[in-house]
Structure 1
Amino acid sequence: MATYVLIPPAGSGPWYWHLLAEQLRDRGHDVVAVDLPCADDSAGLAEYTDAAVRAIGDRTDLVVVAQSFGAFTGPLVCDRVRVDLLVLLTPMVPRPGESPGEWWGGTGYAQARRIQAERQGWTPEQDEDPNVVFFHELPPRLVEEATANARDQSGTPFERPWPLAAWPDVPTRALLCRGDRFFPIDFLRKLVSDRLGISPDEMDGGHPVALSRPRELADRLEEIRREVCEVARPTSDRRR
């Protein structure tokens, strides 16, 4: 059994993960859906990391899954506790010394979105419409629930540089979604390659994939966990 530690995107709480958490628990795993202080203007990435570490407690066999802006917190958790695997899901991959606020300009994100809008033939209004960019895979009922459970996101953690001098010593994989309209797939493929030096894993789905495709996401996370954790573990340990 593993413990999946789920770090949410910006402006989200544990509710975002509830469908995925059910799938992972059905597979026999423990799940920690981290409740970040995202609305607290006094909280930065250090406080986000503290919240995750407290939620983990004394659990072991950790698989940290960090989505979108959560990718700025996930590696900081791995620098504090022993983690078997870090999975960055549709991630804002950080660079040492770069603040999350600087990330948008430093990665060429705006240009990537303009190219996508031109390819799709979207008007400027459509490109800003959450039903077009985020919720296109979700049924109306789930869109209503997602909207009702959205949280305010403080700008404080976007202002300070990412504090690590180098990536933590933890096996790291990136899982991208081919239908992601917020972080276009070509943009993320290049970002992951440039900043992590790895080839990403991919699946179908849009940005809020934990809501739109929880079963498929759980399957892919399990595939990655088995590849990285179980294959690398000595046979004697696997028999315990």
Structure 2
Amino acid sequence: MTTTTPTVVLVHGAFADAASWAGVVTELQARGIPVLAPPNPLRGLASDAAYVASVAAQIDGPVVLAGHSYGGAVITVAGAQENVVGLVYVAAYVLEEGESLGELQGGFPDSPLATSLKQWTYPVEGGEPAVELTITEDAFPSVFAADVPVEVTKVLAAAQRPLAAGAFGEPAAAAAWKTKPAWALVSGGDRAINPEVERFGAQRAGATTVEIEGASHAVAVSRPKDVADLIAEAVRATAG
């Protein structure tokens, strides 16, 4: 019997880019696990999920999707793609079908992120400019990456990618965790997403969950081995 090792597709969230997975990619490659870290467009939940699903669809064999932060909402929808066999949530939003980020977050106290956002606009063809959000550079280290060296957080803050504000109100068209196994890592010291939001979503999805006490939202940067350990567990469990 041949065993097919799933390809891991790493989906970054808002205020970050695919380079935030660098340490995790190194760990997975060292273990012989095929991995891809595509860009997440960050323009809207439905369109971002369609893009990630299209990436998965073009990979031969099974795929495990791992999503960080808003990337968790994206993989919840994109995970409905047929060859996706598992979902890994890393300090992430785990939505229910028909639920938006705003609705999920609204059931819990706000994190410091809520008062640390800066608005920008971007052009929309044939329409009015739309709003996108970043984290203010002075708040970024403490809110996003408190356990990452300060000189690194300054680079991350300068290179962050904005999220379209409209993404917060878009309902999830599917919840792939209802039919596919899920794993979750909760960052106990997260100041971007309330850890209670992460715990609630993971529990609702029946995810195999680990919690890292004191870990910041940027846990993939500060604790890449721990993140890779959980992803590797999902790969082992779904290899067939």
TM-score, normalised by the number of residues in structure 1: 0.76
Work out which of the residue numbers 227, 231, 234 in structure 2 matches 1:221. 231
- CA positional deviation for 1:165: 6.9
Are 2:11 and 1:7 aligned? yes
- CA positional deviation for 1:200: 2.2
For the structure 1 residues 166 and 146, does the alpha-carbon distance in structure 2 shift closer, same or farther, using more than 3 Å as the test?
closer
Work out which of the residue numbers 161, 180, 186 in structure 1 matches 2:171. 161
Which residue is 1:50 aligned to?
Answer: 50
Structure exhibiting the larger radius of gyration computed from Cα positions: 1
Distance 2:82 2:168 in 1: 23
In structure 2, stretches of 5+ residues that fail to align are: 113-137
1:129-171 Cα distance to aligned partner (Å, 9 max, x none): 3322322111123112212220121112223221127744111
Identity of matched residues, %: 27
For the structure 1 residues 138 and 22, does the alpha-carbon distance in structure 2 shift closer, same or farther, using more than 3 Å as the test?
same
Are 2:35 and 1:34 aligned? no
**Which structure features the higher share of helix residues?**
1
Q: Which amino acid aligns with 1:201?
A: V
Work out which of the residue numbers 18, 25, 28 in structure 1 matches 2:29. 25
- CA positional deviation for 1:68: 1.4
Work out which of the residue numbers 191, 195, 204 in structure 2 matches 1:185. 195
Distance 1:199 1:27 in 2: 21
In structure 1, stretches of 5+ residues that fail to align are: 115-127, 234-240
Which residue is 1:118 aligned to?
Answer: none
**Which structure features the higher share of strand residues?**
2
Which residue is 1:123 aligned to?
Answer: none
Are 2:142 and 1:138 aligned? no
RMSD of aligned residue pairs (Cα, Å) = 2.4
Which residue is 2:181 aligned to?
Answer: 171
- CA positional deviation for 1:35: 0.9
- CA positional deviation for 1:229: 2.2
TM-score, normalised by the number of residues in structure 2: 0.76
Q: Which amino acid aligns with 1:62?
A: V
1:167-212 Cα distance to aligned partner (Å, 9 max, x none): 441111221122323334345323432x324562223422111111
Are 2:75 and 1:74 aligned? yes
